[in-house]
A = this chain, B = another copy of it.
């Protein structure tokens, strides 16, 4: 009996929706050869990661073993699957395989970060295979909310793994390949050892709806609008963008694509041949000459992002366009949990302008790109895997997906990020827990989520800041009283005296009580002044600020 292990190890995506990153390995313990599936990002928020630009999975474990990594496969071009390739590739240095549309996006990401884009290699779909160490890997076309989404068929000496990537079961996706049950059945025929399966929508009780259910309703809606129409959706949902544009044209409107991502995605889809017959658009510069009831803008910013076109239109003018009483704004999208505040801010701003906002609450103008509960069951039944490994989901989704599998007797594995599972035997076996986490792109620097940098910024936001400076002369005697400057604190508190004066007065008292053992020791003196400032502020304004103490000593 061979002791070779067949490893599954999620480094990201199994414990959150976002930053997908899954390692597969095969070989003797400690000598496995690896492949990586997806290398995505997740997005920061003010609650937990203020000021951060992007969030990556912490791939230190794999980076330390990069010499055993044979290939990187990208299932599709969503940011949470491809977004980190440019930033992290230099730590891995393996070739990146993907299909043409995804490659178009991946190459641009490599290029933007000064990485070799020629290491992005284009693969045709099943039955073409890529040999990568002990693995043979094929891209199996699947429907989702972006073109050329693929599952991966990963063949190893210990059997076949099907890694679904993100998917829905859509037989009429409008753009890109339909879900083809016969093709999938053919893949399943030799037996599937493990189905590693998208869990995002496991809580949604009803079968998913096709992209093709939307055009009729959207066309009716746009035709009924009296003023200008602005619609937003994810730029990468090329089928939806096309539906919106066609609805605009059908209503006799000139269509404008607004927002860099919107234009980039449409041209990527056209360049790679996945998008045909996209309606003619006009440039925003020409839109000024067209009466507003003859215009339809398709814009970025469906999640309320502050810098995207939607938010800018909500605040006022954007590239010369503005919305007013009688116009319509359509969210052909859903709000991702956590983004509600930003989206509502936009909706209320439009309301103040008299713009009618239409959202997906009726279910007529948006469908999800993920498989719902009954669709997942259908997938389980089609694949009949020996093991079911839920991936891509928060912990609650993974857990629920395991339960769903149990309903039909599937052996499920709950493996959140960092759980290394050996799939080689008759039972899946957790063999190790690997340290995982998040890496922040902070400005242009990559830092660990636990480095304390962002924790300090959160503290500054909650507590404000005091700078205390003190100069000591050659005899370790203070030259005057400590000097205080505040930032993010009320200018005065209960006494009515300026806060800085109160702080300086109190710290002067503190200095008066300080003996030589303190005055000659920078660390002790810093601590005494820090504590003094915090207590003084707490008494005056009910808040203990963050404090920076700078002690300068004059020397002869």
Contact = CB atoms under 8 A, between A and B. Distances in A.
A395 interface: yes
A453 interface: yes
B442 A543 contact: yes
Interface residues of A, number: 66
B461 A541 contact: no
Contacts of A361: 203
B554 A488 contact: no
A320 to B, nearest CB: 25
A465 interface: yes
A192 to B, nearest CB: 27
A19 B357 CA distance: 25
A442 to B, nearest CB: 6
A489 B492 CA distance: 28
Contact of A456 (B340, B341, B445, B488): B488
Interface string A13-57: 001000000000000000000000000000001110011000000
B461 A46 contact: yes
A454 B490 CA distance: 9
A344 B18 CA distance: 15
Interface stretch (A111-119, A130-138, A374-382, A545-553): A545-553
Contacts of A463: 51
B442 A51 contact: no
A469 interface: yes
A89 interface: no
A471 interface: yes
A467 B464 contact: no
Contact of A454 (B50, B467, B488, B543): B488
The complex is assembled from copies of this chain, and their number is: 2
Nearest to A456: B488
A61 B241 CA distance: 49
A14 to B, nearest CB: 12
A354 to B, nearest CB: 8
A550 B340 contact: no
A541 B337 contact: no
A341 B465 contact: no
Contacts of A460: 457, 460-461, 464-465, 487-488
8 contacts: A50-B462, A442-B490, A442-B541, A443-B490, A443-B493, A460-B465, A469-B552, A548-B548
Interface of A: 15, 45-47, 50-51, 203, 337-338, 340-341, 344, 347-348, 351-352, 354, 357, 361, 394-396, 398-399, 416, 442-445, 447, 451, 453-454, 456-465, 467, 469, 471, 479, 483, 485, 487-494, 538, 541-543, 546, 548, 550, 552, 554
